[in-house]
């Protein structure tokens, strides 16, 4: 769950089309007009939090669906407020990392927190590794 948010934070610093899609996805009527990823992201986060709770990684009294909604809302709000206040996305990876540390500090089992990588550059590292893996598995035109 943290990795997804970190990767998206990195990608919006790199991809203008993703920044535009983010802005459009938050407009009134976006869901009916051209779709929005937020319901699916809440659903995926709910599944991940439920599984983590079953493994004892999330505190027993935490509602996975409520937290999933809060995480998606916090991430999107943080990104938009950061752009509005700072006028750029230059520090968004740091802000998103801090957001996850704050939120997970209240819902994760204390023994789980040290295992989570909140590094500011985590999204870049994961996305670059993904792209490298994709490049290495692509068929070669040379024979």
Within a domain: residue 95?
Answer: yes
What's the confidence (pLDDT) of residue 2? 94
Within a domain: residue 139?
Answer: no
Within a domain: residue 48?
Answer: yes
pLDDT tens column, 9-20:
999 999 999 888
Within a domain: residue 133?
Answer: no
What's the confidence (pLDDT) of residue 114? 94
Expressed as residue numbers, the domain containing 13 is 2-124
* Phi, psi angle pair for 91, to nearest 5°: -120, 15
Question: Considering its fold, how many domains does the chain have in total?
Answer: 1
Token output for 58: 């999330």
- What is the CATH number for 80? 1.10.357.10
Within a domain: residue 131?
Answer: no
Within a domain: residue 136?
Answer: no
pTM: 0.85
Token output for 67: 């937290």
């Amino acid at each position: 769950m943290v990795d997804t948010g970190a990767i998206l934070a990195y990608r919006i610093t790199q991809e203008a089309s993703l920044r535009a899609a983010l802005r459009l996805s938050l407009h009134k009527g976006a869901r009916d007009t051209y779709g929005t990823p937020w319901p699916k992201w809440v659903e995926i986060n709910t599944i991940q939090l439920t599984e983590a709770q079953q493994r004892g990684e999330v505190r027993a009294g935490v509602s996975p669906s409520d937290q999933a909604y809060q995480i998606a809302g916090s991430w999107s709000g943080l990104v938009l407020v950061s752009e509005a206040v700072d006028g750029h996305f230059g520090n968004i990876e740091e802000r998103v990392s801090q957001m996850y540390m704050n939120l997970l500090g209240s819902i994760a089992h204390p023994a789980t927190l040290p295992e989570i990588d909140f590094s500011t550059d985590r999204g870049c590292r994961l996305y670059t590794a993904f792209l490298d893996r994709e490049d290495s598995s692509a068929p070669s035109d040379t024979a």
